[in-house]
Amino acid sequence: MAANESASLSGTRNLGGLLRGLRNKEQGVKYNNLLGYAFIAPAMLLYLVFNIWPIIRGFLMAFTDYRFVYPDTRWDFNGVDNFVKLASDEKVHKSIWIALKYTAMVLPITILAALIIAVLISRVRSGASFYRWVVYLPSILPVAVSFLMFREMYGLKFGLISNILRGLGVENPPNWLGDVAYALPSIAVAHLWIIFGFPTLLFLIGIYNIGSEMYEAASLDGANGFQQLRWITIPLLKPTFALILVLQIGIIGVTDPMLLLTAGGPENSTLTVGLDIYQIAFVKGDLRLGYAAAISLVIGVFSALISAGVFRWSRD
Amino acid sequence: MATTQMLEAPAQTPQTQVRATQRNSWLSRSNWLAHSALALVTFIVLLPILWMLATAFKDGQEFYTNSASLFPRNPSLVNFQYMFSAIQELPIYMRNSFILAIGVSVVQVFSAALAGYAFARINFRGRDLIFIAIIVSMFIPRSGGLMALYELMSFLKLRNSLFGLILLFASSLPVPIFIMRQAFLAVPKEIEESAFIDGASWFQVFARISVPLVASAMVVIATLAFVGVWSDYLVTYTMVDRDTQLTISVGIQKVLTSSYESATAIVPQLRGQFAHEAADAAMLLFSAAPVILIYALLQRWFMRGLTDGAIKF
Residue B218 and residue B173 share a domain = yes
Confidence of residue A45 (pLDDT cuts 50, 70, 90): very high
Q: Which of B205, B181, B159, B140 is nearest to B308 (CA)?
A: B181
In this structure, which amino acid lies at residue A231? W
Full pLDDT tens readout for chain B, 313 residues = 333 345 655 555 555 544 544 455 555 677 888 899 999 999 999 999 999 999 999 888 888 887 888 888 888 888 898 888 888 889 999 999 999 999 999 999 999 999 999 999 889 999 999 999 999 898 888 888 899 999 999 999 999 999 999 999 999 999 999 999 999 998 888 888 888 888 888 888 888 889 999 998 899 899 999 999 999 999 999 999 898 999 999 999 988 887 677 777 777 777 778 888 888 999 999 999 999 999 998 887 777 766 665 554 4
Give the count of domains, chain A: 1
CB contact under 8 A, A282 and B238: yes
Domain for residue B276, yes or no?
no
Spatial distance between the Cα atoms of B231 and B111, rounded to a whole number of angstroms: 22
Task: For chain A, give the mean pLDDT.
Answer: 86
Give the count of domains, chain B: 2
Q: In this predicted structure, what is the pLDDT of residue B3?
A: 39
Reported as a single tens digit per residue, the pLDDT across A240-270 is 999 899 889 999 999 999 999 998 889 999 9
Whole-prediction pTM? 0.87
Domain for residue A173, yes or no?
yes
DSSP assignment letter at B157: T
Q: Is the Cα torsion angle A291, A297, A300, A302 positive or negative in sign? A: negative
Domain for residue B201, yes or no?
yes
* Domain CATH code at residue A202: 1.10.3720.10
Which residues of A are less than 8 Å from B24 in CB distance?
none
Q: In this predicted structure, what is the pLDDT of residue A21?
A: 47
The minimum CA-CA distance between A81 and chain B, rounded to whole Å, is 17
Q: Does B34 touch chain A (CB under 8 A)?
A: yes
Spatial distance between the Cα atoms of A34 and A31, rounded to a whole number of angstroms: 9
Number of A:B CB contacts under 8 A? 326
Reported as a single tens digit per residue, the pLDDT across A157-171 is 888 888 888 888 888
Which residues of A are less than 8 Å from B32 in CB distance?
none
Which DSSP string do the residues of chain A spell out, in sequence order? -HHHHHHS--HHHHHHHHHHHHHTPPTTPPP-HHHHHHHHHHHHHHHIIIIIHHHHHHHHHTTB--BTTBGGGGG-B-TTHHHHHHHT-HHHHHHHHHHHHHHHHHHHHHHHHHHHHHHHHHH-SS-HHHHHHHHHHHHHS-HHHHHHHHHHHT-TTT-HHHHHHHHTT-SS---GGGSTTTHHHHHHHHHHHHHTHHHHHHHHHHHHHH-HHHHHHHHHTT--HHHHIIIIIHHHTHHHHHHHHHHHGGGGG--HHIIIIITT-STTTT--HHHHHHHHHHTSTT--HHHHHHHHHHHHHHHHHHHHHHHHHHH-
Residue B65 and residue B126 share a domain = no
Q: Which of A75-79, A217-221, B5-9 has the highest mean pLDDT?
A: A75-79
Q: Does B11 touch chain A (CB under 8 A)?
A: no
The minimum CA-CA distance between A248 and chain B, rounded to whole Å, is 12
* Contacts of B119 by beta carbon, 8 Å cutoff, 6+ apart: A40, B127, B130, B131, B177, B181
Which residues of B are less than 8 Å from A154 in CB distance?
none
How many percent of chain A have pLDDT more than 70? 91
A153: containing domain: 83-315
Confidence of residue A23 (pLDDT cuts 50, 70, 90): very low
B70: containing domain: 12-79
CB contact under 8 A, B35 and A124: yes
Looking at this predicted complex, what is its ipTM?
A: 0.87
Domain for residue A119, yes or no?
yes
- pLDDT mean over A34-59: 94
Task: Note which residues in 147-176 of chain B have CB less than 8 A from chain A.
Answer: 147-152, 154, 167-168, 170-174
Question: What residue in B sits closest to A167 (Cα-Cα)?
Answer: B68
CB contact under 8 A, B310 and A149: no
Which residues of A are less than 8 Å from B143 in CB distance?
58-59, 62, 293, 296-297, 299-301
* Domain CATH code at residue B198: 1.10.3720.10
Q: In this predicted structure, what is the pLDDT of residue A79?
A: 86
Give the residue from B232, B258, B284 where a domain finishes. Answer: B258
Which residues of A are less than 8 Å from B10 in CB distance?
208, 211-212
